[in-house]
Amino acid sequence: MEGNSWNGKILWVDLTKKTTRIEELLPKVYEDFIGGKGLGTYLLYRELDAGTDPLSSDNILFFMTGPLQGLRAPNVGRWTLVTKSPLTGLYLDTHCGGPLGREIKNAGYDAIAVTGKSEKPVTLIIEDETVRFEDAQSIWGKGTHEATKILHEMTTKGSAVYVIGPAGENLVLTATGCCELAHQTGRGGAGAVLGSKNLKGVIARGTKKIEAADSSAIRQVNKTATKLWNEKTGYGFKEYGTPFLVEISNERGQFPTRNFQNGYFDGYESLTPEEMREWYIGAHLSCPHCIMRCTHAYRTEDPRFPGTEVESTVEYETLGLCGGTLGIKDAQCVFQLNHLCDDLGLDTIGAGSAVGFAMEAFEKGILSEEEIGFPLPFGDCEGAKKLVMMIAQKEGIGEILAQGTRYAAKEIGKGSEVFAVHVKGLEIPAWDPRGKKGMGLSYATGDVGGSHLRGWPQTMDHPDSSTLDVIESMVDQRDIKILRDSLIICHFTYHFPLTHEQNITMLNGASGLNYNKESISIFAQRVETLARLFNIREGVSREDDILPPRLWEAETHGPAKGMKSFIDQDDFERSLDKYYELRGWGKDGVPKEETIKKLGLNTLVS
């Protein structure tokens, strides 16, 4: 489109027929939905029929960019995948680092929509206006690291590679895809959607130059942000990346321990960056245009090939779900689990949660040694590694755990439902809500289920009093995140800080439009309401906006001792009422007619 940084085009790819077509979206659609999460939500709602099987050829993968990809803006070397989740059966947006978004944009598209199913495994290769379907039979079954290397050798220098591993091919519902070795489309099982389409990966390379309406506005924000970051010293995130959060989270009683039996891990020190220093390699494989470079790598051994040294880019979430949740204090073990998950194409949160669930089932005598194939006490590194490989291959008990913790609890029964820690099927990440007031409401109302990326209340309090007073701040934070996810700016930019106002300034610089805080608040409400309407169409109601029983048990240990996620059920229900009201939804959690009209969604949803 003229005078702004959107290309105005979506590339549609049909894997069944091996055909492509271009769709040109109206400027008003861009104005209303911007890009990334926003535009992806619009496309998913518009295109997908209610009840579509997420693993059928009818599901669609939307590889999204936004108005800032392809421009020199801070921390925008990222992209978004929107689809229907096979893990939850609901709306899914997942945000990934790496240059795929920039290359899609430089190839001349704002998004690539992939539908259908290839008869045989293929890789989709986009080089400017040329689209190829490359036979992928020789790399089907290979891990993400080897497949990435092979695909780089056979494509143009500078191409961005995104691939799935064996878990996605085997339709494991917590499967991810991997972009350039270190970045994952983490949650919700998008990797299995690629697998169901026989799509091993997507590669893009573009040479078009993207122009902003006013590049000086973006340049100025980039300059200020870089200066702020460079001036920071003695700052944990800068020195260590996300692992510095282990100590902070543990001190608040939020570090998941032994399948969320506690939020405080005795012996957590061995999982802190200071203690992991001897294996530290450095910060690399970071997202393009990133001024922070949070991807820190550690040396370890590939457990499948003893003697083979590999790099493990471990994050806080993995230290929580593959460390504390499993009662594992050995950092080397967590590095190995992280490497296994990345290479097999598994979400470290989903896989860690499934293994933690199995460990508790073993501890309680619900799963026996015979049923698992070996003893599986908390803290058992070898057992955890074996089980991760069984999940990826769907072997033995791994077949049940590969369907996610919700399904596993239902299948195994015997009371195990009370320690299956998920919301709407999406496993809870490494922040126990019993250590932070209002966090539980964010999980309960997240459009994708139990995600830590849907806005947290601005408070450091424990949930020892009513949550009602922090809900407005949670809505504000959710709005800020919806804008970031639509511009596809990394959330870690809050560390500079890169402000909400600066993000709006960059959006205006890219688009030539005049958004302000009020219009962005309406935009965020529009996107969340549309995602809600998608989920309602799939059968979601107020009864699904709940927390798992484990998070209603009073914490027995550490700084959050005595805490539940809310003071009581009544406080939770009143908080939910208030949240719905702030969003313009009825007490049943359904958006009101007047809200739908105010947000300009009436034509789309009628």
- Which positions touch ligand SF4 (CB under 6 A)? 75, 78, 97, 286-287, 290, 292-295, 490, 492
Q: How far is the CB of 281 from ligand SF4 (least distance, A)?
A: 15
606: number of Cβ within 10 Å: 6
SS (H, E, C) 379-410: CCHHHHHHHHHHHHHCCCCHHHHCCCHHHHHH
Query: From the CB of 248, what's the least distance to ligand SF4, in Å?
Result: 17
Tell me whether residue 288 or residue 379 sits nearer to ligand SF4 (CB atom).
Answer: 288
C-beta of 272 vs 313, nearer to ligand SF4: 313
Residues 6+ apart with CB under 8 A from 227: none
Instruction: Provide, rounded to whole angstroms, the least separation between the CB of residue 104 and ligand SF4.
Output: 17
Q: Least distance from C-beta 207 to ligand SF4, angstroms?
A: 23
Q: CA-CA distance, 277 to 47, in Å (whole number)?
A: 49
Cβ count near 562 (within 10 Å): 10
Measuring CA to CA, which residue among 261, 569, 547 is closest to residue 426? Answer: 547
Q: Say how far apart CA 324 and CA 558 lie, in whole Å.
A: 14
Q: How crowded is the C-beta side of 438, counted as CA atoms within 13 Å?
A: 21
Q: Please say which residue, 117 or 293, places its beta carbon nearer to ligand SF4.
A: 293
Q: Which is nearer to ligand SF4, 115 or 184 (CB)?
A: 184
Match 């009662």 to its residue by tokens: 327
Both structure tokens of 444: 């309960």
CA distance 145 to 201: 12
Instruction: Indicate the residue among 88 and 148 with the shorter CB distance to ligand SF4.
Output: 148
CB of 227 to ligand SF4, least distance (A): 17
The residue (of 97 and 463) whose beta carbon lies closer to ligand SF4 is 97
Kindly tell me which of 190 and 290 has the beta carbon lying closer to ligand SF4: 290
* Type and span of the H or E element at 202: strand 199-205
Distance from C-alpha of 458 to C-alpha of 527, rounded to nearest angstrom: 22
CA atoms within 13 A on the CB side of 366: 21
Pairing of strands 296-301, 122-127: unpaired
The conformation of residue 585, written as its DSSP 8-state character, comes to B
Q: Which helix (H) or strand (E) holds 321?
A: helix 316-321
Type and span of the H or E element at 96: strand 91-97
In angstroms, what CA-CA distances link 163 with 84, 180, 194, 509?
Answer: 19, 9, 9, 33
DSSP letter (8 states) at residue 141: T
CB closer to ligand SF4, 198 vs 312:
312
Grouping H, G, I as helix, E, B as strand and the rest as coil, residue 127 is strand
If you search the block for the tokens 């995140």, which residue do you land on? 481
Question: Given the complex with ligand SF4, which of 77 and 352 has the nearer CB atom?
Answer: 77
CB of 287 to ligand SF4, least distance (A): 3
**Closest separation in Å from C-beta 508 to ligand SF4:** 22
- At its nearest, how many Å lie between ligand SF4 and the CB of residue 242? 8
Name the residue nearer to ligand SF4 (CB basis): 66 or 398. 66
Helix or strand (DSSP H, E) at 242: none
Least CB distance to ligand SF4 at residue 591 (A): 32
Tallying the residues shown for the chain, one arrives at: 606
Cβ pair 82, 44 in contact under 8 A: yes
Q: In angstroms, give the least distance from the CB of 320 to ligand SF4.
A: 17
**Nearest one of 145, 206, 156, 205 to 178, comparing CA atoms:** 145
**Which of 329, 452 has the CB closer to ligand SF4?**
452
To ligand SF4, the closest distance from the beta carbon of 292 in angstroms equals 4
Q: Based on CB atoms, which residue is closest to ligand SF4, 243 or 440?
A: 243
Q: How far is the CB of 183 from ligand SF4 (least distance, A)?
A: 7
